[in-house]
Amino acid sequence: MRIGIYGGAFNPVHNGHVILAILAKECLNLDKLILVPTFFPPHRDPRIFAPFEKRFRWLKLAFERLKGFEISDYERKKGGVSYSIETVEYFSKEFGVKPLFIIGEDSAVNFDKWYRYGELMKMADFAVYPRFRESRFDEIRRKFPKFILMDLPLIEISSTEIRRRISLGRPIRGMLPTSIEEDVIETFQEVMG
């Protein structure tokens, strides 16, 4: 069985996440792609975060009609700061396989700064999706030759841009699933004051 793990803040989940997940699952020939929202991200400002329960529910709604995707609340159950190595270790044991961990090009460039990254590289294979107009895949290939560099389209929707647009009262139509749009707007109007 081929298992993929796609972690992130998903603050909020948007159509770029959905498109990327579908394409990555196909590109990597995965039987299952597990989306793991971060409970408490170690490198992010918690003041701009929607509550975990909302982010988890938004993911469930965004992927509810798609087969081969699972939304996991492992990091909430674990509690505390979320480190990728603990998540990978958990799913490796649960499925008895070495998973594929999907990360963005922006994260891959700085992968050697991740917590216990050397051990993490032994526990999972890594697949990288594009994030920059000026690709940094050559740099990643030099630093981490075993990383799989996925030939996928660059999707220029970001949670940061969605939150910014909400704060300015601008429309976000088409950027995220319609099933969560109203709740996302209301939530971030509250969160960002």
Residues in the chain: 193
Contact yes or no for 128/157 (Cβ under 8 A): no
**CB-based contacts of 183: which residues, under 8 Å, 6+ apart?**
54, 58
pLDDT digits (tens, 9 = 90+) for 46-94: 678 899 999 999 999 999 999 999 999 999 999 888 889 999 999 999 9
Domain boundaries, the chain: 3-191
pLDDT of 41 strictly over 70? no
| 193 pLDDT tier (thresholds 50, 70, 90) | confident
pLDDT at residue 192, rounded to an integer: 81
Specify the residue for token string 């991740």.
114
pLDDT digits (tens, 9 = 90+) for 167-180: 999 999 999 999 99
163 versus 193: which is more confidently predicted? 163
> Class of the 3-191 domain?
alpha beta
Q: How many CB atoms lie within 10 A of CB 59?
A: 26
Contact yes or no for 85/120 (Cβ under 8 A): yes
- Rounded Cα gap, residues 180 and 54, in angstroms: 10
Contact yes or no for 135/154 (Cβ under 8 A): no
- H or E, element range at 103: strand 100-104
Taking the model in full, what pTM does it have?
Answer: 0.94
